[in-house]
Amino acid sequence: MKTEELDAIREQQTKTKVTPGIYGNYSVRRNKTPEEILAKLQSDKAYVIRFRSSVELNKRMVFEDIIK
C-alpha cells in the first residue's frame, strides 16, 4: 500500500475510534488468489510477505522470525 493509502486508513480508524492497523476489511490484498499472488511475485517488483493471523486484536501473538 502507498503511504497515502495507509494515512487515509489510519485517519478513518482514528475518527471511528477503532484499533488502528491493516486487518480485516482494511487489508485490500488479503483475499488475493494464488494466481494473482504469483503474478505479483514474478513481476520483479519489491514485495513484502506478511503473516496472516486470525488472532483477536486484544490478544498478543509472539513468534521468532527465523528468516531475517
Specify if 54 maps to a domain: no
Map residue 16 onto helix, strand or coil: helix
Is 13 within 8 Å of 57 (Cβ atoms)?
no
Instruction: Count other C-beta atoms under 10 Å from residue 55's C-beta.
Output: 10
d(CA 51, CA 67): 12
Map residue 24 onto helix, strand or coil: helix
Specify if 39 maps to a domain: yes
pLDDT, averaged across the chain: 85
Q: Closest Cα to residue 19, out of 48, 61, 56?
A: 56
The mean pLDDT of 31-46, rounded to a whole number, is 88
- pLDDT band at 55; cut points 50, 70, 90: low
Specify if 26 maps to a domain: yes
Q: How many domains does the chain have?
A: 1
Specify if 14 maps to a domain: yes
- pLDDT band at 57; cut points 50, 70, 90: confident
pTM: 0.58
Is 23 within 8 Å of 31 (Cβ atoms)?
no
Could you tell me what percent of the chain has a pLDDT over 90? Answer: 31
